[in-house]
């Protein structure tokens, strides 16, 4: 049934509002797709963070004007549907590629990511890339790993040191080190003895000097 101009305008407005913030899309076509499979497809797209619509080509082109997926919706022919997202394009490509493997009634036409149109082969390559969540997980692992390894090393070093000390005490390996200061104690007076010996003669010399220099008293003759 043909749509009235008012209905077309309304549909274009609704689709344009949904496509406004979309950054990527995958356009496909289908033949003989049952209602049950269509429901499964929509569910798959929603699970990947996207939305899905079967569209009329001219209306889709009008709705996409001024959006980042505009180029992908221009000049479409035949039956067309669009799965689009403002989130992770890899997640959307993975979900659709997995679903299409088991449902050959659906095939890809083209895709678009941040204004760059990609072909069917590139959609397949996109589906093999790690998604944003996987990349974030790896990044967090790389950031946290040095700190975790450092904490592990510090904790292990403390535990190992305690074990070594305990084993050494049990086996008496520290007995020799404990007796060393006792053997070194007598050495202190020996080192100081020469200083005392040097100082003693000096003191005696000082005491004897006045006696050596005192003048003799001579008797005066009597007249």
Confidence grade of residue 196 (pLDDT, cut at 50, 70, 90): very low
Q: Per-residue pLDDT tens for 73-86?
A: 988 999 999 999 99
Lowest mean pLDDT among 94-98, 99-103, 179-183: 179-183
Higher pLDDT pick, 145 / 218: 145
Model confidence at 113: pLDDT above 70: yes
**Does pTM surpass 0.85?**
no
Confidence grade of residue 13 (pLDDT, cut at 50, 70, 90): confident
Q: Which architecture, in CATH terms, is 5-127?
A: 2-Layer Sandwich (3.30)
pLDDT at 119: 94
Name the residue ranges covered by the structural domains of the chain: 5-127, 130-158
Q: Per-residue pLDDT tens for 42-65?
A: 999 999 999 999 999 999 999 999
Average pLDDT over residues 171-179: 53
pLDDT at 183: 46
Mean pLDDT of the chain: 74
Average pLDDT over residues 113-137: 82
pLDDT at 32: 92
Give the span between the Cα atoms of 139 and 154, in whole angstroms: 24
């Amino acid at each position: 049934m043909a749509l009235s101009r008012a209905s077309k305008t309304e549909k274009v407005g609704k689709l344009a509002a949904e496509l406004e913030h979309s950054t990527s899309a995958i356009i496909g076509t289908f033949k003989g797709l049952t209602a049950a499979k269509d429901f499964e497809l929509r569910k798959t797209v929603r699970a990947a963070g996207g939305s899905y619509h079967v569209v009329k080509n001219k209306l889709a082109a009008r709705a996409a004007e001024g959006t980042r997926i505009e180029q992908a919706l221009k000049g479409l022919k035949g039956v067309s549907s669009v799965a689009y997202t403002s989130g992770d394009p890899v997640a959307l490509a993975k979900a659709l590629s997995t679903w299409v493997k088991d449902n050959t009634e659906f095939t890809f036409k083209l895709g678009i990511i941040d204004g760059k149109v990609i072909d069917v082969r590139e959609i397949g390559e996109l589906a093999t890339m790690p998604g944003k969540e996987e990349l974030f997980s790896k990044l967090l692992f790389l950031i946290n790993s040095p700190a975790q390894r450092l904490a592990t090393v510090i904790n292990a070093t403390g535990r190992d040191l305690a074990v070594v000390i305990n084993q050494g005490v049990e086996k008496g390996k520290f007995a020799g080190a404990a007796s060393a200061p006792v053997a070194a104690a007598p050495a202190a007076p020996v080192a100081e003895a020469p200083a005392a010996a040097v100082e003693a003669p000096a003191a005696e010399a000082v005491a004897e000097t006045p006696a050596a220099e005192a003048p003799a008293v001579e008797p005066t003759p009597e007249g």
